[in-house]
Structure 1
Amino acid sequence: MKSSADRNWMGTALGLLLAGLLQACGGGGGSDTATPTTPPAPVTPSPAEARLSIAASAINSETERSPQAAPVDHELSLGLSGLASNASVHFTAVAEGEAVETASPVSWQSGSSQARAKLRLRSDLAPGQYSGTWTLSACHDPLCQRHLAGSPQTLRYQHSVTPGFEVSEDRVEFSSSTEDQAAATSVKIGLPTRASGWIYQLLEQPGGTDWLQHRAQGDTLLLQPAAGLTRGEYRAEVKISPVGVERPAHFLRVKATVESQVVVLYTPSFALRSLSETPGASMRIMPTAKTPEGLSWTASTSTPWLRLEQASRTALIWRLVPEAFDKLANQESHLAAVNFEFSHGVPARTVSFRLIKRLTQIDTVDDSALQAGRAGSLILLGTGFGEIGRALPQLLSFGTLTPTAIKLLDNGRIRVDLPAQPAGRYEATLGTASGLPGQRLSYTVR
């Protein structure tokens, strides 16, 4: 049995041992020799990921068909996030489908978190439903090998073209003799979807309108000069309007020329397009029952872009003078006049007609991707490229330089891949199937 002294000694020793342990650990509240702990290493946040975002996922539109109507524009806002302050972003916009007029280059200012993209869809297509895609890409490099997160994004579009109010003719002209009645002409009327019909009205003219026979038949307006008209010129104007919808009225001009001794047959308007193969037309000089025996005639013109060729006793061919035609404004109509003089006292006559120059037109050239000594792509922007798509390799010329590829991107853009060229200013031409001058364009290699 242990004594009380032994127990006291053991307690004291245990107390000293505990006190020493507390002091070594900095405990006990009285020591200033404790070892400090090591603070944790700071955590660096990961940089934000550069990202492209587009709120829309589909595009829907509807328009009335009209060759003169403006295309339908769709604009999108592109969101950019996580970009460094000095970051560069390179965009591409590619649209596919028959309805595409053009997909404009994306507009963006460096440092901005927003960009704008525009898709233009056509209104001159046949009525129907059209669909396609619009793919937008945002990249770190010009070749788009490193995309931003969320790029590319493809949107689908649905484009509906409904029937519009259309009249097949702007003007109608008749030529006949006093002994013969000119043949009737049909004018077609196209109506919008919600129209219930159409009406027409002959407007008052100084010489009256009794000379013109007229009748509506379904979607057709039939016009014919009356029989037995005396020699002279007769004019009328017809106002045509749809019923049930608000649309501007169409005004149709009608003219009849009646001769007693000789009749000149001609086309009152002639449209020349990029793919038109014949740069001219013919006129016919037709005798009547009152034509003098052995009648002869000559023709002349003061129109600088017109050249006349007498093909036979009854035919005159007019052709276009290339140098003068080149100076005529594109997408406009130009008036020409031909003067006929006859023998045997037959009165002279002047015939007027309109030439409509409708060549495919390039508005601007994007040569920003062309660098000296390197192959690159040239983008041509304009209107009506779809009409000449298959003939592009034949119509587009770069002189002695041969493009490696020519691609129709849409109705408003052509991409031309060119081999390496030295720095400088170069020219190209967009010609015509008839051989008449087309359009000259220039581009720069930097």
Structure 2
Amino acid sequence: MIQQSLRGATRQGTPDTPVRRRLAALSPLTAAGLRRAALALGATLTAWLLAACGGGGGGSGEEPFRLDFDAGPVELQTVQGQAAPAVTLNVNSRGETRDPIYVGAEASGPGVLTPLEVDVRGNSAVVKVQADPWLTPGTYTGTLTLLACRDTRCLAHHPGSPHVVRFSTTIHPRLSLPVTPLALSAPQGGAAVTTRVALPAGLPGGLTVGTDADWLQARQDGAELVLSAAPAGLAQGLHTATVQLRQRQPVSQEASLTVQLTVTTGLLTPAQVHLDLDARATPESLRGTLPVTVAPGVVATRWQASVDVSWLRLVRASGTLAEPLVWEVDAAQLAQLPYGTRTDALLRLQLDGVDDGQVRLSVGQLTPTLDSVDLLALTPGQPGTVLAWARGLDGLDTPQALRAAVVVDEGRVSPLAVSRLGPQLLAVSLPALPAGSHSLRLHNPLNLASPTRTLQVLAPVDRSAQGLDWAGTLRNLQWDAVGQALFMHRSDTGELLRVDLSGAQARVSRRALPALREFSLSRDHDTLLAATRDGRWLLLDPATLATRDDLPLANSPAAAPSDLPLPVTGDGLAWVRTDEGWAGLVVMDSLTQAPNVWLSPWEWSFYQGPWAAVSPDGRRLLMTQSAGLSPPPPLLRREASGGRSGVAASLARLPAQADGDYFYAASANREGSRWLLDHARLVDFDLQPRGRLTLPEGWVGLASALSGDGRRAYVYSMAAAAIGTYAEPAPIPPRVQVFDTGAEPDASGQLPWLGFVPVPEAVACRVTQGPTPCQPYRAHLLLTDDQRTLLLAGDRRLLVLPVPAGPLRAQAARGPRATAPLAGHRLR
């Protein structure tokens, strides 16, 4: 058998024989130095050998080993805010070598998205390079360094490595026009009305301009769009047309503008006026004027106006025809409007005391709004990055503008940096903060009040071991680090349990919910979200379990409870499985408590599924469509960065996997770059293998958890001989096996086993058959957010176990031995 180690590869019996090597990708967990320089992370931690090239090593028939790299340069371009297809660089190996080959890439200078993606394909690799679309328009240059190393830390290189390729990225201005209609007015049969609209800075000349109405003409004049509306031949009333702009070179993009022309024989004011208040608005935007003029032949000297709402104040409510109407929006009242809503005011005008017309003023609330944050992103006394989901970011086009918009602790803390990870996702880098609650919000130049979100910086909690005894079937464990409580669904009795671990002794409260099917904490831990089999969406108080609200679901949830928590992504979307057999998904918006979309089982392959897991930071979701079809449909993944619209399009199908296109259990590190599936295989978010967990002989894994940094995996295991048929055998205590998931796998892809944490007693019964219901192979394991405590639960008890700070036990013996019960009490 041919084996390869990450520290060197040999052929058994002939260690010096050169062999043809597959390429492998460098690991982010072992190449820390290069990672700081934006090291690319690719497809696999283990490099499997393609073939052994027979005979003794070093013969004259061997082809000299070499690596071929694409020479470049790489030229990238895209429109600001628009994702562009990746450009690929190829790495190919030729000949033979006795050393492993690890491929990586790093970028210097802004202009490309990092980390770079490396896709390893046997004897070749592809480095994918994408322009960073969130940069300010301009040209950026830098270098890409392609690496072919003999070890994962890149301490030794193959010939030709490192290979430097230059890149150039051009970010073009986005062709954008106002999204609200442009309002014009003209007398019936009168002369054309001309106006100008500013175009974004930096756009080239030669735009293609057209309209869909004969009465509207449009052309480009340098940095402006000139519009001419001719009322001749038009009837009285409101007329609507669209202007289309297209850019062909150097990039293709288009935009449109709606124009509304009011044709009248009396008062010459537009029937509708639109005002959108967004990140570009200033205090002056809250004040506007409306000229009051009349058509030829109309005899009038004065006008008077009134309005039907309190939020619009008329600064000048009457005057002569030479004086415009002046209005002002009350910012305090407007701030009460939810983001994305519009409100209208009706202005009535009289000429010399006679009603002559009305104008509808429509105001849209689009100022920057913070929807949610990664609540538990930071540790006391350590700087870190917080993910923040927000809307209304258009206009905040530079890092400086973004940084100025983020307000932390009402300005007492300044962000170190703010970058945009997607249309509605920010990464906020913060200095070290003390333990406690901290506030985040987005500032707007209008000084309108905006939603404030809470960031909890929690000090670690050291707990002593304790246990609770019971008898019942548990599903769906949830840990609330803010309230220091564990939530569990006891499905056999239809109860929701809350175990308070904030004190020295656990305290248990419960509520009967016989129809409960799935539940989860909201992203801010303020609410328990629960779906019931009779089609209800319950909002529960996490402290008292009382119902705050009871709403209908679009479809009834699946009848069978799930062992995985109800998945809720960082943007507030909850993914509720519906029906049985060919099932669907109701995606609930937990911020508005309204259905977002229903995903049909006929569009997706949701047979006896789906189920999903979410990374602790809320950004990444991994979903099994079905485990009951052959062949199984592909796994799905989602990056919660594009907002709460277009949900179906944001679900990406992953390529078929050798280890299967489904999982039953999953846990992830905090950022979702590492996933432990079914207690045995470690993969990245692309499902590329990063190693396997093999338990010591004679042990079976029942539940697992991955640490927040991805460097440790904990697997609750039972000895194979610990389970009886009709009677429990002599006790063999379970163990929590611990693996080093931040290290290099061995030649066969196995990750290092570090030892075990002894477990005093099994959390489940140990009989597979008998008169009493018993589920010996069902167990749950959670690791608290501070990485200090393991929470184990089964159908007999809950155990609270401290994570050892010192060396783990590693003795091989697993025979029966006496155990002392944990401190605790029996739950009845």
Which TM-score tier does this pair reach, normalised by the shorter chain? 0.5 to 0.7
Residue 263 (structure 2) aligns with: 258
TM-aligned CA distance change 1:167 to 1:385, over 3 Å: closer
Structure 2: distance between partners of 1:223 and 1:186 = 9
Which residue in the other structure is 1:281 paired with? 287
Q: How does 1:435-446 map to 2 (within 5 A)?
A: 435-445=447-457, 446=786
Corresponding residue to 1:329 among 339, 346, 350: 339
1:129 maps onto 2:110 in alignment: no
Which of 351, 355, 377 is 2:360 aligned to? 351
The answer as to whether partners of 1:407 and 1:416 remain within 8 angstroms in 2 is yes
Is the Cα–Cα contact under 8 Å of residues 360 and 384 in structure 1 kept in the other structure? no
Displacement after TM superposition at 1:47 (Å): 5.6
Ranges in structure 2 where 5+ consecutive residues have no aligned partner: 10-29, 41-68, 92-98, 101-105, 119-124, 148-152, 319-323, 458-785, 787-828
Alpha-carbon offset, residue 184 of structure 1: 0.9
What SS is found at the alignment partner of 2:281? Answer: coil
Q: Which amino acid aligns with 2:358?
A: R
Percent of aligned pairs with the same amino acid: 12
Does residue 300 in structure 1 map to residue 308 in structure 2?
Answer: yes
AA paired with 2:344? A
What letter matches 1:280 in structure 2? L
The one-letter code matched in structure 2 to 1:377 is: G
> Match of 2:384?
377
Structure 2 Cα separation of the partners of residues 395 and 133 of structure 1: 32
Residues in 2 aligned to 1:117 and 1:246: alpha-carbon distance in whole angstroms: 21
CA 1:297–1:311: 2 relative to 1, 3 Å: same
* Pair 351,168 (structure 1): closer, same or farther in 2 beyond 3 Å: closer
Select the residue among 217, 222, 225 that pairs with 1:214: 217
Shift of 1:309: 1.0
- Give 1:149's aligned amino acid: L
Q: Give the deviation of 1:442 after TM superposition.
A: 2.8
Q: What residue number does 1:431 align with?
A: 443
Q: Is the 1:261–1:346 contact (alpha carbons within 8 Å) kept by the matching residues of 2?
A: no
Question: 2-side partners of 1:256 and 1:234: how far apart?
Answer: 5
User: 2:360 is matched by which residue type in structure 1?
Assistant: V
- Matched positions, count: 358
Contact 1:405 1:418 in 2 (8 A): yes
- Name whichever structure is richer in strand by fraction: 1
SS at match of 2:409: coil
Q: Partner residue of 1:206?
A: none
Alignment of structure 1 residues 363-442 onto 2, 5 Å? 364-365=373-374, 368=377, 370-372=378-380, 374-380=381-387, 387=397, 389-390=399-400, 395-399=405-409, 402-403=412-413, 406-408=416-418, 414-422=427-435, 424-442=436-454
**What's the CA shift string for 1:326-358, capped at 9, x where partnerless?**
54235xx73634232436332341424453615
The two structures, once aligned, show a CA RMSD in angstroms of 5.6
Superposed counterparts of 1:133-212, under 5 Å: 149=155, 157-161=167-171, 171-177=181-187, 181=191, 183-186=193-196, 198=208, 200=210, 202-203=212-213, 209=214, 212=215
Q: Does 1:318 align with 2:340?
A: no
Can you list the C-alpha shifts for 1:11-53, whole angstroms capped at 9, x where unaligned?
xxxxxxxxxxxxxxxxxxxxxxxxxxxxxxxxxx996596678
Go from structure 1 to structure 2 and tell me whether the alpha carbon gap of 1:281 and 1:218 turns closer, same or farther (over 3 Å shift).
closer
Mapped partners of 1:243, 1:326: distance in 2: 42
| One-letter amino acid of the structure 1 residue matched with residue 453 of structure 2 | L
- Residue pair 1:386, 1:410 contacting (<8 A) in 2 also: no
Structure 1: runs of 5+ lacking an equivalent: 1-44, 83-92, 108-113, 138-146, 204-208
Task: Confirm or deny: 8 A CA contact 1:367 1:378 kept in the other structure.
Answer: no
**Between 321-330 and 344-353, the greater mean CA deviation after superposition:** 321-330
* TM-aligned CA deviation for residue 282 of structure 1: 1.3
> Which secondary structure state, in structure 2, belongs to the residue aligned with residue 286 of structure 1?
coil
Query: 1:262, 1:287 within 8 Å by CA — same for their partners in 2?
Result: yes
CA separation in 1, counterparts of 2:395 and 2:220?
A: 37
SS of the equivalent of 1:62 reads strand
Quote how far apart the aligned CAs of 1:156 are. 5.6
Q: Higher helix share goes to which structure?
A: 1
Question: How far apart, CA to CA, are the structure 2 residues paired with 1:403 and 1:396?
Answer: 10
What displacement does 1:285 show?
Answer: 4.5
TM-score (norm. length: structure 2) = 0.34
- Provide the residue aligned with 2:76 in structure 1: 62
Quote the Cα distance in structure 2 between the aligned partners of 1:238 and 1:385: 22
- In 2: Cα distance, 1:124 partner to 1:73 partner: 17
Is the CA contact (8 Å cut-off) linking 1:189 and 1:221 kept in structure 2? no
Cα shift at 1:264: 3.2
Work out the CA distance in 1 between the residues paired with 2:72 and 2:231. Answer: 57
Residues 409 and 387 of structure 1, relative CA distance in 2, 3 Å threshold: same
Q: What is the identity, as a one-letter code, of the residue corresponding to 2:383?
A: G
* 1:443/1:134 CA distance change after superposition, 3 Å: farther
Residue in 1 that maps onto 2:491: none
Name the stretch that deviates more: 268-277 or 307-316: 268-277
State the alpha-carbon separation in 1 of the partners of residues 441 and 286 from structure 2.
22
SS for the counterpart of 2:311 is strand
Amino acid across the alignment from 1:436: L
Deviation at 1:435, TM superposition (A): 0.9
SS at match of 2:339: coil
Compute the displacement of 1:300 (Å): 1.8
Which structure has the larger Rg? 1
Verify the 8 A CA contact 1:308 1:316 in the aligned structure 2: no
The answer on whether the counterparts of 1:406 and 1:414 sit within 8 Å (CA) in structure 2 is no
User: Which residue of structure 2 aligns with residue 32 of structure 1?
Assistant: none
Report how far residue 58 of structure 1 moved.
7.3
In structure 2, relative to structure 1, the CA distance for the partners of 1:171 and 1:309 (3 Å cut) is closer
**Alpha-carbon distance in 2 for matches of 1:396, 1:349:** 40
| Structure 1 partner of 2:748 | none
1:391-418 Cα offsets, whole Å, 9 max, x none, are 5676433337833652245676554433
Residue 217 of structure 2 aligns with an amino acid whose one-letter code is H
Aligned pair in 2 of structure 1 residues 265, 237: CA closer, same or farther (>3 Å)? closer
**Aligned position for 1:31:** none
Look up the SS of the partner of 1:433 in the other structure: coil
- Cα shift readout 1:107-137 (whole Å, capped 9, x = no counterpart): 9xxxxxx9x99866117854x5322468999
Q: Deviations over 1:126-173 (max 9, x none)?
A: 4x5322468999xxxxxxxxx763799998642134688777887432
Residues 298 and 327 from structure 1, CA distance in 2 versus in 1: closer, same or farther, beyond 3 angstroms? closer
Q: In structure 2, do the counterparts of structure 1 residues 170 and 300 end up closer, same or farther at CA, with 3 Å as the change threshold? A: closer
Describe the shift of the 1:375–1:404 C-alpha distance in structure 2 as closer, same or farther (beyond 3 A): farther
Asked if the contact 1:379–1:414 (Cα under 8 Å) also holds between the matched residues in 2, the reply is yes
Q: Alpha carbons of 1:250 and 1:294: their partners in 2 closer, same or farther (altered >3 Å)?
A: closer
1:181 Cα deviation after fit: 3.9
> Does the CA contact (< 8 Å) of 1:262 and 1:285 recur in 2?
no
